[in-house]
Amino acid sequence: MKTIEHPFTQMKVKSLKLGEIVRVSGTIFTARDALHRYLASDGQLPQDLKDGAIYHCGPTVIRRNAEWIVRAAGPTTSMRQEMYMPKIIEKHKVRMIIGKGGMGKGTQQACARYGCVYLQAVGGAAAVLAEKIKEVVAVHFAREFGVAEALWELVVEDFPAIVSIDARGRSLHSKVETSSKRALNKLLKNPAFRR
């Protein structure tokens, strides 16, 4: 298991191996559909995402006095952002994407071209992952996009994930899909299965 700390430089992310379990520490930013559309259409940000991480997440938060507290922070399905992600990686020099379910060929190619990785977070563990969030630094675009779709700037400590697209563009998801198709074809050719 490897620990990776912000800033997530190209050198750091290139050292991560496909299938490796990592613990992420430092600043990360959440983003969902509305923010990805905004970023891909040349929207401006109050924060620089260079050498940063985008977490596909709409956290559940409460306000206590002047402080935001994250109660749940599970990953959302990343594939919904596939059409935007390559441009965002290129333009904003994002080095790390965290989400669930994997991403497509465009993102794989952008990871290889610009030095970025995709990390698979644990689905169904939103409360456990929220415990890894040590501070809410700021929230941006809550009025424009709503609380769940806002850009949350978070500080995490030992946030667990698995490298499922590496900086060479290799994907665990593609490997699983290929081996699953092979196994299915083998089953379909078996006469006992066709009865």
How far apart are alpha carbons 139 and 147 in whole angstroms?
8
Please state, in angstroms and rounded to a whole number, the distance separating the CA atoms of residues 156 and 119: 15
Q: Which of 6, 36, 56, 173 is labelled catalytic? A: 36
| Beta-bridge mates of residue 25 | 5
> Quick one: CA dihedral 33, 168, 21, 183, positive or negative?
positive
92: annotated active-site residue: no
Other beta carbons within 10 angstroms of residue 184's beta carbon come to 10
Give the Cα separation of 114 and 131 in Å (integer). Answer: 31
State the Cα–Cα distance between residues 44 and 106, nearest whole angstrom: 23
Q: Is the dihedral of CA 150, 117, 19, 136 positive or negative?
A: negative
From 150, 155, 175, select the one nearest 164 (Cα to Cα).
175
Cα of 40 vs its chain's centroid, Å: 16
The single-letter code of the amino acid at 128 is: V
Please list the active-site residues. Answer: 36
